[in-house]
Amino acid sequence: MERRFTDPALDAIRRQVQNREPLRLTMLFALFAMLAVLSLGRRVLGDETLQGGALAARITLLIGGILYCAKCIQVVTRENEAGRVLGDGFWSTTAGVEMALVVAMFVANQFFCELNESIEQLGSPIVLMIPLLIALSAVAGSSAATDLLSLARALREGQDR
């Protein structure tokens, strides 16, 4: 087994990112829940944009996202309390699953809605916020980004001296 070199500063940055992850996941959880409530509320109030399959697909995906976020919050909180740093596999899987949820929402929207309704749904500001949260997860969780942040910090400290 190959021993991997670990930099204490890099580990500290990874821990900081991981300690903030429950907050990001909670925001994503709240966003999914809010979208589900808004979708159901619009339908109850008579909006004809989301009907049948489109509504069912969106609600199913949003509930899946809510359950996924809840499980990830449990995992990250448990690892934070134990003082362990999650590996790159967790971060890659998290970004992949979250991106797959968003793509599935867009595909379901395109598949079940007429063209004009589909474009109207894709332009919703709240829907456009989801990829931003996921991109933040991918950047914050990737080891390459963490390494670059560590390097930038070291360079900045070197310039201050």
State which residues of the chain have pLDDT below 70.
1-7, 48-51, 113-161
Closest to 143 measured CA to CA, from 99, 97, 95, 102:
95
Using CA atoms, how far apart are residues 95 and 110, in angstroms rounded to an integer? 23
pTM over 0.85: no
Q: What is the pLDDT of residue 146?
A: 57
Q: What is the pLDDT of residue 3?
A: 41
Q: What is the pLDDT of residue 69?
A: 93
Do 17 and 140 touch, CB atoms closer than 8 A? yes
